[in-house]
Amino acid sequence: MARSDESAPQKADPAPAAAKRTAPRRRVRRLPITPLLLIAATIALVLVAQQAIRGLPSWLDPFGEETKDRSGPALLQSIRDLHRYEAASGNFQVIVDLEKDAKFLPDALRGKRTLFVGNGSVDAYVDFSRIGSGALKVNADRTEASITLPRAQLEQTNLDPKRSYVFTTERGILNRFGDFFGGNPNDQQQLYVLASQKIQAAAAESGLRDRADANTKLMLENMLKALGFTKVTVTIGPAVQ
């Protein structure tokens, strides 16, 4: 019998196919969204919403503020006549550094420090109602006059609320927690009182009263000379207690 040159077909090795079927698939791990990313996304969303709301008309802004003045009319309590000459005025500025600490707690836990900028003015005046009956002397020819004036006094400090403000405030953790539920309105009042007291003390130590005395003396000399007096003598008396 003749041998055939054609060889019998060989069977494929099933090992690689089985290996392909049994090989585990690699899964792509998704990183979980951390709380930090959620917070950042929330903040970004709020900022975008704020910018969008600012661009809206006021009547479409759901968070817009509306100011209503419900104050009653001012009541006149008293009227008094003044016989004084406002001779000088001084403008002052003071920085109040008020700190409140707890005795046994650190400042970071309980404590408050406030810097307040106070701007105000103090007027100096001469009270003509305190001039005595014999303080004014005129000679027979009405050419010479002499007058003795009381010393100038200082008005109370007029603190300007429009130019006085809290510059900065540092608070402890407990103070912040307490202010969250409601602040103390007396804190602002205390700052205004301290600023007024410091400005009043500065005005007393300044030359404001001396300037007022000089201005009053010059005013009376010019006025009496305009009335025909050729010689005018103005004397400043002792300070009024």
Task: Note whether residue 55 is domain-resident.
Answer: no
Task: Note whether residue 47 is domain-resident.
Answer: no
Are the C-beta atoms of 109 and 91 separated by less than 8 Å?
Answer: no
pLDDT at residue 80 greater than cutoff 80: no
* Parent domain of 150: 84-236
**Which range among 57-66, 67-76, 195-204, 212-221 shows the weakest confidence by mean pLDDT?**
57-66
Degrees, nearest 5: CA angle 219-93-202 = 65
Task: Note whether residue 18 is domain-resident.
Answer: no
pLDDT at residue 3 greater than cutoff 50: no
Average pLDDT, stretch 62-91? 80
* Rounded Cα–Cα distance for residues 198 and 192 (Å): 10
Could you give the number of structural domains in the chain?
1
SS (H, E, C) 69-87: CCCCCCCCCCCCCCCEEEE
Average pLDDT, stretch 212-232? 93
Residues 6+ apart with CB under 8 A from 108: 172, 173
Task: Note whether residue 118 is domain-resident.
Answer: yes
Task: Note whether residue 176 is domain-resident.
Answer: yes
Task: Note whether residue 149 is domain-resident.
Answer: yes
pLDDT-based confidence at residue 45 (cuts at 50, 70, 90): confident
State residue 79's pLDDT score: 83
State residue 64's pLDDT score: 59
Average pLDDT, stretch 12-41? 58
pLDDT-based confidence at residue 8 (cuts at 50, 70, 90): very low
Q: Which of 30-44, 127-141, 151-165 has the highest mean pLDDT?
A: 151-165
Chain segment 81-132, per-residue pLDDT in tens: 778 899 999 999 999 988 776 665 655 556 677 899 999 999 999 999 888 8
Task: Note whether residue 19 is domain-resident.
Answer: no
Task: Note whether residue 7 is domain-resident.
Answer: no
In the block, residue with structure tokens 């309590």? 77
Q: What is the percentage of the chain residues whose pLDDT exceeds 90?
A: 39
* Rounded Cα–Cα distance for residues 17 and 156 (Å): 103
119 vs 2, more confident: 119
Chain segment 22-33, per-residue pLDDT in tens: 555 555 555 455
State residue 122's pLDDT score: 97
State residue 92's pLDDT score: 97
pTM strictly above 0.75: no
136 vs 47, more confident: 136
Chain segment 177-195, per-residue pLDDT in tens: 555 445 555 678 889 999 9
C-alpha R_g of the chain: 43
Average pLDDT, stretch 76-82? 78
Average pLDDT, stretch 4-23? 50
Are the C-beta atoms of 164 and 119 separated by less than 8 Å?
Answer: yes
